[in-house]
Chains A and B, each alone.
Chain A
Amino acid sequence: MTVARFLPDMKSPTGRALRRFVGNPSAMLGLALMVAFLLVMFIYPAVSAIGPNSIDLLAINKPPSLAHWLGTDGVGRDVFARLLEGGRVSLLVALTSSVASLVIGFAVGAVAGLGGRFADAGAMRAVDVAMTLPPVILLLVLASITGPGIGPTILVISLLSWPVLSRLVRSRLLELGQRDFVVASRGMGAGLGSLIRRHALPNTIDILVVFVTLQVANAILLEAGLSFLGLGVPPPDASWGNMLFAARSTTVLTNYPWQWMFPGLALVVVVLAINFIGDGLRDAFDPRSEGG
């Protein structure tokens, strides 16, 4: 792999991890896709004249053409421009809420896994409450207090997604807690904080990475669901969620597929890219995969 040769032969573990990551073809594919996506998302609007919200009632529901690469929607807006603007909004919502739920989920899971029986029982009961709260009600109440918009959407989605991660992290750390090196470092007086930082994090990196990759997609879908309740990103602003949501009418579903298929396709590609990057990161940071 020519690229790997240019990188300095860094001796530090992150250096080696970086070189392994670069050497991993699928991870590089994922990275390339993401970078391409972000570039187009930020550069195209500055270049193109067609705004995401500029309507043209004489050109509604037109299939993809030279004028409108991906066709137009029900009010004549350019689907490609909305796809990009929607992409920015959806990715912003998805990434921030994924990271937020990652932090909460990991923290609760780690405390439960390593913090001893009482911390475990306490944390797990909190998780139970969070999981038993029917999402419909939480969505309705939180969103109606905070109203629609990107901020509340991120808050609602993060609050809904962390419990599952905390249970996964806890189950991994329960098993880990038995292992000698953890018992040993406890013996050397390592507090919960350093235990989490030095042992819990590296050993659950694979769960965390898989969670983030799945959570990005889940966040965008939740945002679409919010549109079902009239919340989420309010129209006329674009987001992949409310563009996908337009497909709930059978006519749009069958006669104007370009209006919902492209946001769906974009979402699948982004999720795939993030999955590849995630796998690449997990393999890169996994010391045992030296032979890989």
Chain B
Amino acid sequence: MTPKMLLLPVLLPAVLAVALLLLPRALRLVRDALAVAGAGVLLYYGFLFFSVKDLRYAVPWLGMGIDFDLRLYHFSSFILLALAGFLFLIAVYATVKMKDAPRGREFMAYVFLTAAFANGAALANNFVPLVFFWEGLLVTLYGMIAIGGRPTSGRTAVKALLIAGFCDFSLILGVGLLWSVAGTATMSEIAVEPTGLAAAAFVLMMIGAAGKAGAMPFHTWIPDAAVDAPVTFMAFLPAAFEKLLGIYLLARVSLDFFKLRPGGAMSVLLMIVGAATIVLAVLMALVQKDLKRLLSYHAVSQVGYMILGIGTAVPVGIAGGVFHMINHAMYKSGLFLSAGSVEHRAGTTELKKLGGLRRDMPLTALGFVVCALAISGVWPLNGFVSKEMVFHGALETGYTVFAVAAWIGAIFTFASFLKAGHSVFFGERTTDVPEVKESPAAIVLPILVLAALCVLFGVYNKLPLDRLITPVVAPHAEAGAHLDFTGHALDLFNVVALISVGCLVLAFLIHRHGFLKGGRKAYLASEPFHGLPGIRQAYDLAEKRVFDPYEQGVKALQGLSLALYKAVDRPIDFVFEKAVTAAGEKFTGILKKAHNGHYANYLAWCLAGLVILAGAIGLLAK
């Protein structure tokens, strides 16, 4: 294993991307085989690199502190492995799902190009290559949405590009500031206190990293993309890759580059961002009527847990945040893939048109339910473990309010997944969707693999915690600190876990309440259900379409959700989409009017400019 090998995760996918693009349409099978095989090779190397862990490839580049520097160490090898795993699953899935898509070939090429940039970003150990790879992701993001093939795809792509571009540019600004404060662009050598100018750098870089992960208020393109972009894209970028990279960078920023202190201003800032994202996004998720849109708001909400966890700056919180990142990537990816599977067969993801698909698509349903339970934090799945750690971390800082926010998020996460799961897979078949079959193996397998991983990481949490998470946190914990997160990970009998369970119960009660008010019969109770008994009863209690709990029981909540949707989400969207445009156009109009074509006017500008410049230089010289 030579240092040069580190170029492989960057170059191989890039070459593959070009090859996939060049292969003619007729050779689709070759193309698919190449994609899956290439992803397989990358996964193999992912494991290989994970076992090596310490490698650095640095060549001088431009001078002035700009080197081409790639560094493999524990954290980056972990991210690299995760990226490779998701790439493999997505590649398999896309062979079927994107088969008939009009621009499937370009999509595949974009996937591998994204992987190349993402691997580069994870490995980069100098700011300039980091920014380069980071910006490269912007291009593929735009491209993948733009080829969505819907009338509004182009608009959404531009919106995504502008929002993500804003975040990226603030990252660049932050990088520049940090570079000048720290005096070096080599990432492994930077460790500064977040005060003064460095604090500004921290905030800017935080915007860049959290924006990439999709935190509020940089999220509004995600729900739109859910509708306008291929669903595979959603499982790939917003659900998995962007979270992994964004949180990876956020962790690097707050742990390595800056010495975040528990309870410090920057820590509290991060926790506020995290908590706000959790609560606001989940409330918005409640009122969504489309499965993909609903999932996408959860993709935003869950980022809040990660940011909150890292923001606590205490070991258990950080570990929880990072663990939540990998967990979330698994179950959210699984959920989007399940939605894609449903879309593949039923042709729609609108909740009111779907129902009872459990019988037709049992495996998809199984995968969806497991992932939904995991995201809701049900014992003993992985989501439970990582959320508990975040709660503990938040409580440890003394700011109980953030833990409360996180619990509120847990309640509504579960509630909305009860709604989603019920309306798609349970209840009565609707007439909108004809008899359907289970999706082909290439679609179902990735879902089941992800679901199985969710179970594995929950039940056998020692594996991920000891092998992946603890080594990340260890260098930042005080010497001799207690770093065994596994002992009580599944312990249900402590106050925190009991409150969490209480939250889940509360979510059930919301449904129950709504159901009783509706006065409907619970005929779903007779349906056999191969899941967990608690869930089954909860679903059984809800009788009609899942919107009714809100229509009947929690009108107030719905009002609040809608109000928030209108008062927070749309204005942010408005700022990005309308206000900026309008202001720009106004300004442009004034400037254009000034250019009226009159020579004397232009000459007057020149002479005025001359006088002003002479005065300015003269005054400044003094």
Does B bind A? Answer: no
Q: Which residues of A contact B (CB under 8 A)?
A: none
Measured CB to CB, the residues of B under 8 A from A are none
